[in-house]
Amino acid sequence: MSDLLHVRNLSLQFKTRDGVVNALQDVSLSIGKGETVGLVGESGSGKSVLSYAILGLSDTAARVTQGTAYFDGMDLLAAKEADLQEIRGREVSMIFQNPKVALNPIRKVGHQLEDVLLRHTTVLRSEVKARAIECLAEMKIPDPERRYHAYPFELSGGLCQRVMIALALACGPKLLIADEPTTGLDVTTQAAIMALVKEKTRARGMATLLITHDLGLAREQCDRIVVMHAGHIVESAPTEALFTEPRHPYTRLLIGATPVGRASLEELTAIGGSLPDLRRTDLPTCRFAERCPGRSEACALPLPELVDGNHVVRCHRVEMMV
């Protein structure tokens, strides 16, 4: 499978009044055409920061200090803003975490869809309204002709999320980045939203990066899962291999803290400690070391990258690698 997105050894810092935040360090990630990859980890681990860096949407205080990011052969980090604007929406689309914030509150949702279609497709202005309504209907939004005229504040969270997905998929992108697409939704709506995303992306052969802290959701939706902790990628593996044979201590603890497949809450185990302060100048080589129950002196050494087929782990204490 050829890589559509290939990120290698990416490091990113934020310059703040309180010091430099080393948000990403030596991050590598790839997504093949038609593949669905889950990016999981605790809140604050750098998942969204990585997606914004890929799309050139990072805060002005951010600075990439090393690494490369290529999308379909295009060097994203070296590209001009005008070139990035051309591929955003058309080649790469994003479902943002909070649709009511991402959508323009003073513009009707139908007009927002028209903006995207006119900017990135060849649809005629005389036909754009009908196409926008069709996009809403494809997301199974009830009474799409009426909802075309609605403002975001007039719609429920679930309907706003469907509008956001309609915007993201309107131009048939090659890569969809879905950042916590079910946050704040009830379980029934979550299932419906993810079924829609899966149906549309599979039908069109899109690659998908699903960013989530919900391991159960990632297991249901993804071909492969990448685990992130404090700006580091610690493990990457095909989905079932990751759940049946997790090899990094953080991955094992993360799965142990997930209620999926457990008979009672008593079976859950908490992950001790908290994410390290990324402004520290004395961050350990392994950013999980201070929380790891199996840490040793070796954890201060440079992290190895242990590869077993499609299973990659960055840890000194991996005992199950062959």
What the block records as the tokens of 156 is 């429920």
List CB contacts of 203: < 8 A, sequence separation 6 or more. Answer: none
Q: Binning pLDDT at 50, 70 and 90, where does residue 261 land?
A: low
**What digits encode the pLDDT tens for the residues 26-71?**
999 999 999 999 999 998 899 999 999 999 999 999 999 999 999 9
Cβ–Cβ under 8 Å, residues 34 and 205: yes
Mean pLDDT of 84-102: 89
What does the pLDDT read at residue 198? Answer: 86
What does the pLDDT read at residue 152? Answer: 95
Label the pairing between strands 232-238 and 311-313: antiparallel
What does the pLDDT read at residue 17? Answer: 92
Q: Does position 264 have pLDDT exceeding 70, yes or no?
A: no
Whole-angstrom Cα distance, residue 104 to residue 63?
28
Q: For the chain, give the percent of residues with pLDDT over 90.
A: 66
Q: Does position 1 have pLDDT exceeding 60, yes or no?
A: no
In sequence order, the β-bridge partners of residue 177 are 94, 209
DSSP conformation letters of 89-144: TTTEEEE-S-HHHHS-TTS-HHHHHHHHHHHHS---GGGHHHHHHHHHHHTT-SSH
**What digits encode the pLDDT tens for the residues 94-152?**
998 888 889 999 999 999 999 999 999 999 999 999 999 999 998 889 999 999 999 99
Q: In sequence order, which ranges of 152-210 are alpha helices (DSSP H)?
A: 157-169, 187-204
What does the pLDDT read at residue 263? Answer: 52
Mean pLDDT of 20-30: 95
What the block records as the tokens of 230 is 């404090």
Q: Mean pLDDT in the chain?
A: 90
Q: Does position 321 have pLDDT exceeding 60, yes or no?
A: no
Q: What is the pTM of this model?
A: 0.91
Calculate the alpha carbon distances from 314 to 111, 137, 249, 259, 303 in Å: 47, 45, 10, 26, 6
| Residues 201/236/260/268 CA torsion (nearest 10 deg) | -150
Cβ–Cβ under 8 Å, residues 31 and 37: yes
Domains and CATH numbers, the chain: 3-313 (3.40.50.300)
Between 229 and 263, the more confident residue is 229
What the block records as the tokens of 108 is 């009707």
Whole-angstrom Cα distance, residue 42 to residue 270?
12
What does the pLDDT read at residue 179? Answer: 93
Q: Does position 284 have pLDDT exceeding 50, yes or no?
A: yes
Among candidate residues 199, 135, 136, the one with its CA nearest the CA of residue 171: 135
What does the pLDDT read at residue 35? Answer: 94
What does the pLDDT read at residue 322? Answer: 41
Burial of 77 (0-12, 13-18, 19+ CB in 10 A): middle
Label the pairing between strands 3-16 and 62-71: antiparallel
Start-to-end CA span in the chain (Å): 24
Cβ–Cβ under 8 Å, residues 189 and 210: no
* Identity at 43, one-letter amino acid code: S
Calculate the alpha carbon distances from 163 to 27, 130, 221, 274 in Å: 32, 15, 21, 36
What the block records as the tokens of 206 is 């899109």
What does the pLDDT read at residue 320? Answer: 41
Mean pLDDT of 189-212: 86
